[in-house]
Chain A
Amino acid sequence: MTVIPTYRSRPSALHAARAGVGAGFCFALALAGALYRHPLILAGALGGIVVAGLAAGVGREVARSLRLALPLALVIAVVNAVVYQGGETLLVRGGEFLGRRWDVTLEAAAEGAFVGLRIVVLIAALGGLMSAAVDPDQLLKALRRVSYRSALTATLATRLVPVLARDAGRMGDARRCRPHPPGRLAVVRAALAGSLDRAVDVAAALEVRGYALAGRPERGRRPWSRHDLRIAAAAIVVAAVAIAGAAGGAGHVEAYPTLDVALGPAELGIAAAFVVLGAAPFTGRGARMGLRND
């Protein structure tokens, strides 16, 4: 099991939508993390991501991304609380050390938590939902029209990461099988050398597939499916709500000198909208996938 979720084809509206549209939906949900610091709105966005993940059949993958993001968020929250001395509500008097005071205020702790929550939303949307539900090959194929070699390199990196991870795992096992196990550094060096061998093999495979002749691929005309339309519509509405709310001053948060978090109908409405819009493309008859031999 890899730390970062990997894409698997599944019978869901998000998987069925074209990669650009699926990625747009995930980016729209991530936009909430980029535009807001408001905890309720961020929680709403996170709720929308979780609901979308569950509906798309990638709930486990989203949960895995959360397990990756939460410790990071916690670290950010703790560091901000300890390092930043702003705020008037003292929670812990830490005394003096290294020539400065180490007090913890409610405002600094809250600000750290908001930033951490923001990181969680971004990781869940892009590292969880998008990684698991949007086909990277299709996405990179679209990008190959912009920069062919860069996009192909990114594709190869995506493909080779699990291969190299397996190589490293195997070398670790081989190390355990030796009566006198060598130092980890020697194994790492050998694994690096092995990855270069892999790279040479892949380069040879690319050459015989005609890589030297590669030009900019032609754009394919593909009619929009109902899943493309529904996911695209949801993405546009999520982005519109997020931008309009932020432009209209909703989600006001002021951490210092005292904590001031707006909690009115706008905040409640935006948070609820994110949850509902996360679920919207997966509900109703239009989202049904029918029978598939998967």
Chain B
Amino acid sequence: MTEPVVRAERFGYAYPEGSRVALHDVSLQLEPGTFTVLAGVSGSGKSTLLRAMAGLVPHFHGGEAGGELVVGGLGVREHGPGELAAVCGTVFQEPETQVVMGGVRAELELPLEHRGEAPAALARAVEETALALGVGHLLERRTDTLSGGELQRVALAAAMVHGPQLLLLDEPTSQLDPVAGDELVWLLRRLNEDWGTAVVVAEHRLERCLPAADRVIALVEGRVACDAPPQEYLAWAAEAMPALATPAARLFSLAGLPGRPASVKEARAGLREAGLLADAEPARGSRGRESSDGGLLRRILGRADRPPPALAMRGVWLEIEDGPTVLRGLDLLLRPGERVALMGRNGAGKSTLLRLAKGLAEPTRGRVERAGEVALLLQTPGDYLIHEHAVEDAGAAGVAAAGLAGREQANPRDLSGGERQRLALEVVLAGGPCAAVLLDEPTRGMDRAHKDGLAARIGELAGAGAAVVVATHDTEFAASFADRVVLLGQGNVIGDGPPDEVLGGGRHFSTEVARVTGGAALLPEEAARVLATAEPPAAVREVAP
């Protein structure tokens, strides 16, 4: 019988100074060459378990460990991260701080130098790994010129360059745009299939990883709550923790359909089998696309009694000196109370647009008109939290509005990512009512429960009359909160309309449920309603790829 690559027997761990017990009685066994996904809400112990497998827990972080955890034949309580590095490679969340050298080649050489590899073997390993992981063209680049996706791939190559039998990844796609995230998951799948490397990845966006996974381990409050193949895990999640189910699995659960699909393909097959997916042009459900005439007429009639814009950008250009033209004569009007998702690929100009709207930068040409104060929450909430106590940053009212009443004296660094995001939002809102509230990528690394909380807060702000604009790559989140989606591309607006119009028919900018149902619905709840009310077999129709 093959020796498992990871074996845990009642492994437990508590962080130092008795702050909290992170893992309780974790028992599991991972076979070589398997692809395992770690699921769980924020703070459930996923990162801690990965850090324990890498030897950082307890050697780097301190604290108390109990039970047994053996990785590649080495007990983590006896062997530190240096020794465990021989059997496992580790990739963390933040691309910026895990790439330690100035050049890509030097980054890939470093782990081999640490192991004392001879120069010839080192050179060959670097070349082969770089080519296999698609970073060969980056070898001579400086790391500070790479995009987040490129940095993450370089970090992956550095983790794999010595050929470890186990690869550990802690939310490796959370800081990446969807394209870079998908590319990284494809790479992991290839490493797993071609090289036979066992992969353990912690991830919030399970729909991205589940098609590649052999099994899923769900952690709840530091304990293993489910350890099963993807379909069985989804069946468990649909019953026990819907927040950990994928949108397609939630759709099947809500619609009372059998099986829990782990991919869009499986979901479509399931619908087809149930006679709910016909082979024809896409039909739209209750949120289907409006006829263009009707929509236009309504827009013209509605224009007369519309309130003045909360924020208007007229003919805005931004041309960077010695650099690209980011915005090209962009026109955008935002009405009070609108909830707008601003989408587009990386570099499309979303963040730039928000900065111009706030006044952090000036357009090269064109005008930005604001009806009042504009609040902007930039991508890193920690940048707003500069004091020792939450109350000093946001005030007592802000702490309460962030849902953190009773934790006024907490150090913002000790809060979870979602809590920091909410607190930082209250910091920028502390000036009183705003004409517009702008949020830049607020859901990165957030679990579903926190996203639901954020969507509710956005609803409150819009209800109070602010135009709320959220730059996001997260189509599911956009569909859940927005009443308008603006798509940027080539420095201008290339799509603007209700979510079902923009996200229902897109190839890339669409939700998982929209891909399953051919755009008939964007979210599981809505799709379940469509399926329940429509006549089979034409409930939803298959879209030609």
Contact = CB atoms under 8 A, between A and B. Distances in A.
Interface of A: 6-9, 135-138, 141, 144, 155-156, 158-159, 162-163, 170-171, 173-174, 176-180, 182, 186-187, 189-190, 193-194, 197-198, 201-215, 217-221, 293-294
A7 B116 contact: no
Contacts of B92: 201, 204-205
Given A173-B360, A204-B56, A210-B86, A156 B382 contact: no
Nearest to A217: B113
A208 B100 CA distance: 12
Contacts of A211: 82, 114
A174 B116 contact: no
A8 B383 contact: no
B384 A174 contact: yes
A215 B82 CA distance: 12
Given A212-B82, A215-B116, A171 B386 contact: yes
B346 interface: no
B158 interface: yes
Contacts of B382: 194
A209 B110 contact: yes
A207 B60 contact: yes
Contacts of B376: 177
Given A137-B103, A207-B56, 12 more contacts: A155-B100, A159-B99, A170-B380, A174-B383, A178-B384, A190-B385, A197-B413, A202-B97, A205-B99, A205-B100, A211-B114, A213-B115
Interface residues of B, number: 69
B228 interface: no
Interface string B116-131: 1111001100000000
Given A9-B140, A204-B92, A210-B85, A220 B103 contact: no
A176 B360 contact: yes
A155 B101 contact: yes
Given A212-B80, A213-B115, A159 B102 contact: yes
Interface stretch (B37-45, B142-150, B272-280, B298-306): B142-150
B529 to A, nearest CB: 40
Closest 6 CB pairs of A and B: A179-B431, A212-B82, A190-B386, A220-B119, A174-B383, A137-B106
A6 B144 contact: yes
16 contacts: A9-B142, A138-B106, A141-B106, A162-B144, A177-B376, A178-B427, A194-B382, A204-B56, A204-B92, A205-B98, A207-B59, A209-B110, A210-B114, A212-B82, A212-B83, A214-B114
B386 A158 contact: no
B142 A7 contact: yes
B192 to A, nearest CB: 19
B111 interface: yes
B378 A209 contact: no
Interface of B: 54-56, 59-60, 80-86, 89-90, 92, 94, 96-103, 105-106, 109-111, 113-119, 122-123, 137, 140-145, 158-159, 162, 355, 358, 360, 373, 375-378, 380, 382-387, 413, 427-428, 430-432
Contact of A7 (B54, B85, B97, B102): B102
Given A170-B378, A182-B386, A209 B373 contact: no
B111 A9 contact: no
Contact of A204 (B60, B96, B375): B60
A220 to B, nearest CB: 4
Nearest to B438: A177
Nearest to A166: B96
Contact of B119 (A9, A203, A210, A221): A221
B162 to A, nearest CB: 8
A201 B386 contact: no
A78 B113 CA distance: 50
Contacts of B427: 178
Contact of A209 (B85, B116, B123, B377): B85
| Residue in A9, A180, A294 with the greatest tally of chain B CB atoms within 10 Å | A9
A173 B140 contact: no
Given A163-B96, A205-B92, A177 B377 contact: yes
Given A141-B106, A213-B115, A173 B387 contact: no
A190 B386 CA distance: 5
A53 B376 CA distance: 43
Nearest to B59: A207
B106 A180 contact: no
A187 B377 contact: no
Contacts of A206: 100
A189 B380 contact: no
B114 A209 contact: yes
A136 B97 contact: no
Given A137-B102, A207-B60, A213-B85, A178 B428 contact: yes
B513 to A, nearest CB: 35
Given A162-B144, A178-B427, A210-B82, A171 B158 contact: no
A136 B431 contact: no
A177 B97 contact: no
A159 B118 contact: no
Interface centre among B116, B118, B358, B431 (most CB of A within 10 A): B116
B53 to A, nearest CB: 10
B119 A156 contact: no
Contact of A198 (B97, B101, B159): B97
Nearest to A219: B119
A209 B110 CA distance: 8
Given A176-B360, A180-B430, A202-B97, A155 B386 contact: no
A210 to B, nearest CB: 4
A209 B428 contact: no
Contacts of A190: 385-387
B48 to A, nearest CB: 13
Nearest to A208: B90
Contact of B118 (A158, A202, A218): A218
A186 B387 contact: yes
Contacts of B158: 209
A208 B118 contact: no
Contact of B378 (A158, A174, A194, A220): A174
Contacts of B85: 207-210, 213
Contacts of B384: 174, 177-178
Contacts of B358: 177
Given A176-B360, A207-B60, A209-B85, A171 B114 contact: no
Contacts of B143: 159
A105 to B, nearest CB: 44
A162 B143 CA distance: 11
A128 B142 CA distance: 17
Contacts of B145: 8
A232 B97 CA distance: 36
A72 B387 CA distance: 37
Contacts of A219: 119
A194 B428 CA distance: 20
B86 to A, nearest CB: 7
A201 B61 CA distance: 11
A233 B391 CA distance: 65
A76 B70 CA distance: 64
A156 B375 CA distance: 36
A201 B113 contact: no
Contact of B430 (A179, A202, A293): A179
A178 B387 CA distance: 14
Contact of B383 (A138, A159, A171): A171
Nearest to B387: A186
Contact of A163 (B54, B55, B97, B413): B97
